[in-house]
Amino acid sequence: MFLFLLISIFIILLCVQHFILRKHSKDEGNKDVRSKPFSSMPGPPSYPIIGTLPLYLYYKKYSLDRLHWNGRSKVHHWTVFYKEGKYPSRRSHTALAYYRSSRPQKYSTTGLLPTNGAEWRRVRTLLQKPANKASISGLISSLNLVAEEFVEYMDRHFECVNKDDFLDHLNRVFLEMTGVVTFDARLNSLQNPLQPSSIPYRLIKAAEETNDKILETDNNLPTWRIWETKPFKMIRESQEYIEKISNQLIQDKKSQHMQEDCPRTLLDHWLSSTGLNDKDIMTGAAEFLLAGIHTSSYTFSFLLYHLANNIQAQERLRNECLELKSEFGEISREHLHRAVYAKACLKESLRLNPISVGVGRILPEDTVICRFEEYFEQANSFIPERWIEGEVMHKEVDPFISLPFGYGIRQCIGKNIAEISLQVLLMNMVSRFSWSWAGTKDLDTVSLLINKPDQPIRLKRSKMQLT
């Protein structure tokens, strides 16, 4: 009895000591000092009373005679990207995955964005083959035609475009480009006004609503698994419309006779692939419609904003565009290859305003690697010259510092399409107009799955006199 009482008193004293030390550490941590409390020190987990004993006695991770392997570093350095494995896994778009997995009559997978493992690898490998740079380069003339039509559209509606949020017009042109590259179809997005009942208007709205609600459903309680919440309903209705239009465009393409001398779109390649079934093709088409509009329109908005606030960079870009146009005429593969400053402008804009947080990692508060002075001199300034060899501002940096499209086998499948589309539109627009910022304040971002401008895009345009 006495022994039991003694052990009980000992345990109580240990508990009291533990809570006193814990409170002291918390108080110390709340003080405005540089030192951190002991509780923040990295190491094996410690439990009340028993401390780290389970690691020695039960799990045998450590022993009293071997607390450390001699000759090895006590600090382990971990990399993030270099070794990602055969099936890099991600957890996102959970509501979209739930929606698709509950409809096996339409979908064989949950799509490229939420699917993981071997099934993701199979679909990704087959869908991405025609999205390589060589294949997309064959569609440059089609993209250039859309860009030229957009310039004419801005000419016809000069006052209207100047007054409106320019982002609305950019959504239209990038939907049209997505239709050309994916389906070889013109969606008539450049009509003005665009009726709310029209296919382009409803596609843009459906893609935006899906993207906006993915973040909300991913990061709140998944009550949408039990009953249909409002965000999930918006995703469902938006996806049903995108599916409907995707299927229509696929059936239209199937009914056409493919001419040998025509450039092959993504859908042409997918339909001729023996490894893809109809469900895979519909899923791929729907995802390109979902992802191809706002990622590009937001990126282009930030790019125009930086150029509008940096007249010297804008003038240098315009001179490059006009010089290449006089040498090559219509924009071509060689044209884009020689457009060094245009590519540098895009890369610098993506450094300052990356479109996605999808490759984000947990970092200390207020740390922004792409704007860190250790890596980029005048890090908050738009200086395209920093990416051009031979320029005074050029400095070799680790390629992993800026990864706007991700890295490895799970990087953005539309990377080449996006880069070529953005460059083609940029070169057409800068050649014809000069731009200045007319917004009320500096442009910043809000993160709704992808980084969106936090205010309307107000730009003042003036026509250039072409000689």
Q: Is 92 left (phi over 0), alpha (psi -120 to 50) or beta?
A: beta
Name residue 462's beta-bridge partners: 434
Place of tokens 């843009």: 204
Cα 334 → chain centroid: 27
Token pair listed for 366: 């207020």
In this structure, what token pair is assigned to residue 216? Answer: 């909300």
CA distances from 189 to 144, 150, 179, 192, 361 (A): 15, 10, 10, 9, 37
DSSP 463: E
Helices (H) and strands (E) in the chain, counts: 17, 4
Q: Whole-angstrom Cα distance, residue 269 to residue 283?
A: 15
Structure tokens at 280: 């895979």
φ, ψ dihedrals at 146, nearest 5°: -65, -45
3-state secondary structure 334-353: HHHHHCHHHHHHHHHHHHHC
321 is known to lie in a ligand binding site: no
Q: For the beta carbon of residue 395, count every other beta carbon within 10 angstroms.
A: 11
Query: What whole-number distance in Å separates Cα of residue 186 and Cα of residue 393?
Result: 43
Counting every residue, how long is the chain? Answer: 467
Q: 346: closest CA among 281, 427, 413, 265?
A: 427
Q: Are 225 and 264 in contact (CB under 8 A)?
A: no
- Tell me if the bond preceding 193 is cis, omega within 30° of 0: yes
**Which residue's entry shows tokens 């008193």?**
9
Q: Which residues are annotated as a binding site?
A: 412
Q: Which residues are annotated as a binding site for heme?
A: 412
